[in-house]
Amino acid sequence: MTPPASTTAFLATAPSRRSLRDIVAGGAAPLLLLPAVLFVTILLIVPTLEMMVASVQTQDVTGTIGPPLTARHFVRLVDVPLYRDVLVATLRIAIVTAFLSALVGFPVAMVIARGHPVAARCVNVIIVMPLVVSIVVRAYGWQLILANGPNGVLNVIGSWLGLGRVSVRLLYSETAVVIGSLHVFLAMMVLPLASSLARIPRRLEEAAATLGASSLRIFWKVILPLSLPGLSVGLTLVFTLTASSFVLPVILGGNKSQMIGQLLEQQATAVFDWPFSAAIAIVMVSMIFGVNGLSLWFIKRQLSAGSIGVGP
């Protein structure tokens, strides 16, 4: 049956399913990207450029920032022993935390990726659930556990075990910051590592075992190389989050174990040295971007060399 003339006219003028694609291909893509571009430009690019300019300017006694341009703020961060020690401590704490998270997270990720489904779900919940709790609450929890006085949980447990008046003094030290950071950021290591381990074909391990390889050799020659993408991502995330952390060093480290985030806050809100604060922020961001770039370079290099790969 022939459709009415009005229906035919409507179908002829109605937009096709490819109309949106045709619009984008016709040059409207920049208009669709405009909101995102404006958002990133106003809230990220412009403040970053202003911070970069402020880091090389001079602040006079009245607080006015302007010419002449100088690089002494960056030199000061490295030249003054107090600031240099803070920078070195930040790198040391971040590296140690990332290394320990790999040691602790690898067995946990193996359980999630290769363990019994019930055990894998339980471990996954245990790892993910702390993420819904505020980092401030978790930091104060560790402060109670690591407290130096007789009311500290570790000291109370020691007295219960008959260890006498042994006093564990971990709070307000780099060790306390590492312990707290390891607990808070462990999920950032476990989740990408478990995803990478889950994609390793079991047949590769079975083939290696058939050829006489021991469990340790299978791990070293098969599992570890193929899990390097997830391991690299986890190390980068833990290092980045630890190095830029502020709450944990303040609550667990105190004044005896300062990190670069605390130094930035002090210079900006207490000393009001904005050029030096901007220089500290630039160094922090550059350090984080450098680690991320190095991680991406390593993964691409290993992939291009065929040293690692992910199977279906």
Residue 20 inside a domain? The answer is: no
Residue 58 inside a domain? The answer is: no
Q: Tokens standing for 48?
A: 């970053």
Q: Tokens standing for 4?
A: 């009415």
Ranges of H-type helices in the chain: 5-13, 19-23, 29-40, 46-54, 72-79, 81-114, 117-128, 135-145, 153-160, 174-198, 202-210, 215-218, 224-226, 228-243, 247-248, 260-269, 274-305
Residue 87 inside a domain? The answer is: yes
Digit-coded pLDDT (tens) for 141-162:
888 888 877 677 777 777 777 6
Residue 32 inside a domain? The answer is: no
Task: Please state at what angle helix 135-145 crosses helix 174-198, rounded to 10 degrees.
Answer: 120
Residue 142 inside a domain? The answer is: yes
Those residues with Cβ within 8 angstroms of residue 201's Cβ, 6 or more apart along the chain or in another chain: 311, 312
- Angle (nearest 5°) at CA 272 between 266 and 276: 75
- Angle (nearest 5°) at CA 274 between 273 and 279: 105
The pLDDT, as a whole number, for residue 163 is: 64
230-259 in b/e burial notation, b at 16+ Cβ within 10 A? bbbbbbbbbbbbbbbbebbbbbbbbeebbb
Tell the residue number behind the tokens 């160094």, with chain if given: 283
Residue 148 CA to residue 166 CA, distance in Å, equals: 11
The pTM of this model reads: 0.81
Averaged pLDDT score across all residues of the chain: 82
Q: Other CB atoms closer than 10 Å to residue 100's CB: what's the count?
A: 17
Residue 48 inside a domain? The answer is: no
The pLDDT, as a whole number, for residue 154 is: 76
Identify whether the C-beta of residue 90 lies closer than 8 Å to the C-beta of residue 264: no
- Which pLDDT tens digits describe the chain residue by residue (312 residues)? 555 555 555 445 555 455 556 655 556 667 778 888 899 899 888 988 888 888 888 888 777 888 888 888 888 888 888 899 999 999 999 999 999 999 999 999 999 988 888 988 998 888 888 888 888 899 888 888 888 776 777 777 777 776 656 667 788 888 999 999 999 999 999 999 999 888 888 888 888 888 888 888 888 888 888 888 888 889 999 999 999 888 899 998 888 778 898 888 888 888 888 888 999 989 888 888 888 888 888 777 777 766 555 444
Using DSSP's 3-state secondary structure scheme, residue 214 falls into coil
Using DSSP's 3-state secondary structure scheme, residue 280 falls into helix
C-alpha distances in Å from residue 17, one per residue of 14, 20, 21, 22, 23: 10, 7, 8, 9, 11
DSSP state of 30: H
Which range marks the domain in which residue 169 is found? 66-304
Residue 247 CA to residue 183 CA, distance in Å, equals: 14
CATH number, domain with residue 135: 1.10.3720.10
Residue 57 inside a domain? The answer is: no
Residue 104 inside a domain? The answer is: yes
Q: Other CB atoms closer than 10 Å to residue 92's CB: what's the count?
A: 13
First to last CA, the chain: 52
Residue 285 CA to residue 307 CA, distance in Å, equals: 31
- Name the domain count of the chain: 1
